[in-house]
């Protein structure tokens, strides 16, 4: 499997850009870049989580797993 942040893999599989994800939840593209680099973890409101789950076609537990997985490997 290719290397990369699990969230980034999920985003790319859906053919979404970082800008599209950022816009959908009211954040900057830089915020998404920082998530995918493993530099920062998301700090989202409930509304943002709901919107992100809809966009990414997954549940909140899937998103949480994406970010937990990266910490196991670093």
d(Cα 4, Cα 32) in Å, to the nearest integer? 14
The tally of domains found in the chain comes to 1
Is 27 inside a domain boundary?
yes
| Confidence band, pLDDT 50/70/90 cuts, at residue 67 | confident
At 3-57, the pLDDT tens digits run: 789 999 999 999 999 999 999 999 999 999 999 999 999 999 999 999 999 999 9
Which has more confidence, 1 or 71? Answer: 71
Query: CATH number for the domain including 11?
Result: 1.10.260.40
**Residue 33: both structure tokens together:** 């870049």
Is the pLDDT score of 69 beyond 90?
no
pLDDT of residue 73: 55
pTM for the model = 0.86
Q: Which domain holds residue 50?
A: 6-73
Is 44 inside a domain boundary?
yes
Which residues 6+ apart lie within 8 Å of 34 measured at CB? 40
pLDDT of residue 1: 40
**Residue 49: both structure tokens together:** 């989580």
Alpha helices (H) in 1-74, listed in sequence order: 6-13, 18-25, 29-37, 46-56, 60-73
């Amino acid at each position: 499997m290719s290397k990369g942040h699990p969230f980034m893999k999920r985003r790319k599989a859906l053919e979404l850009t970082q800008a599209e994800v950022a816009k959908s939840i009211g954040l900057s593209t830089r915020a998404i870049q920082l998530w995918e680099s493993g530099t920062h973890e998301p700090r989202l409101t409930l509304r943002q989580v709901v919107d992100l789950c809809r966009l990414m076609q997954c549940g909140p537990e899937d998103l949480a797993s994406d970010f937990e997985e990266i910490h196991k490997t670093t």
